[in-house]
Each structure stands twice: as structure tokens, then as C-alpha cells.
Structure 1
Amino acid sequence: MMFTREDDAGMLRKIEAAVIAVFKQNPWMVDYTVINALEAAIKHYRTEQYDTRESITELSQSEEAVYKGIRSVCDLQVKQEASHEIDITESSGRIVLLLKTMLSSIEKADRGSDPQNYLKSVSKT
């Protein structure tokens, strides 16, 4: 199955929606919270992609909430792709690339003085 840019953009929007939902419940949360959660999710899906074992970093309560939100969206995608007979390593690899794309955009947005720069900008849309 071939994925389009629209598919990837839709997946990124779903992940952002999960992050925004946690931010609305935790308005003190900062961009770094999302960065840590994304890095943990990337580590998780990389272990699935390469069928290895890697320990998950300790996460704060808000980082854990963001991580779980990201995982719920991504795990649903993996299940849907599995129903189309897409191998989990391929699916996990795609998710890793999408999460890295999101991480990169947050790191670029986080260069300002506001520690919630990314979160505020995406929660407005």
C-alpha cells in the first residue's frame, strides 16, 4: 500500500490533536513535555521496526499523558495497516518518520523565549 502526503498530513493532525487534548487538561505543560513524549514514542516504534528491546525513558506525569495520547493514535494506525496486510516493521518505520518530522517542527518552533510556543500555536488552529 502506498501512502500519500495527505495520509501523512492526516496522521500528523491526529497526533497533534492528541497532544492538544492533553495540553487543554494541563495548561502549564511546555513544549519540552511534548519533545520528551515524542522521543519516547520514537524509541518505542523503533524497537518494533527493528525488533529490538530498548528501555523507555522515565516520563513525568504530563509527559506520560502525551506519550499515551501519541501511542493511542499510532497504535490504531498500526492496527489499521495490519488489516491491509502491511508489515508491522514497515508501519512502525513510517510512524517513526512521522514522529521525527513532528519533533523537528517542534524543536524549530521552540527556539523562542516562550516555552509553550509550539503548544500555543497548534492549539489555536
Structure 2
Amino acid sequence: MKRLTDWYFNSLKKQILIPFLALIMISGMAISYMSYKNKVSESSMTLVASADENSAAANEVAMTMEQIAAGAIDQIEVGQNNEMAVKLLADKINDLEGQASKMATESENMFKASENGITQVQGL
């Protein structure tokens, strides 16, 4: 230990240089630590902001998907209503065809009766 103290205390240059170097190293370490803490803080703030933006975008996507699903349900309901309307129209068309057939038959019968009446009138 005596050699170390003799080495340190035997020169004024060493007595000034070593504390000065220690001061520079300690201040450098303090500055590095502060810079590290600052970067960690900035990074965490950026991460939180990014997470908020991502959750907002996910909410928007969910709302859009909900609207698409509602539109699909509406289209299914419209399709079912159209099917019912087509069936109703087909029934009406069948009724009209039946009535038209009945009218044609009655019209033929009336025409034959009219021909028979004309023939009878001519025979008088």
C-alpha cells in the first residue's frame, strides 16, 4: 500500500490528473445514464401512442365488419322477401292463366251457342 500512496503523492501532476479523470468518467457515466433514461422514456411514450393508434384502427375495422355483417343480413332479408314475392306472383299468374283458359272455354261455348242460334234462326 505504501508503494501506491508513494506513487500517487510523489507528483502534483498525478494528484490533479487522477481526480480530474475520475470526475470526467463519473460525469460521462451520469450523462450516459440520463440519456439512456430519456431514450427509454421516449420509446415507451412512442410505444403507448402506437398502441393507442392500433387499438383505434382495430375498433374502426370492427365497426366496418359489423356494418358489412348488417348489410349482409339486410340482403338476406331482401332476398327472402323477393322469393316470397316471386312465389306470390307465380300464384297470381297461375290464377290468371286458369281464368284465361276458363274464359276461352266459355267464349268457345258462347260462339257455338251463337252459331247454333243463327242456324236455328235461318231454318225458320
- How high is the TM-score relative to the length of structure 1? 0.22
Q: Of the two, which has the highest radius of gyration? A: 2
**Higher relative contact order at CA 8 Å, sep ≥6: structure 1 or structure 2?**
1
Structure with higher helix content: 2
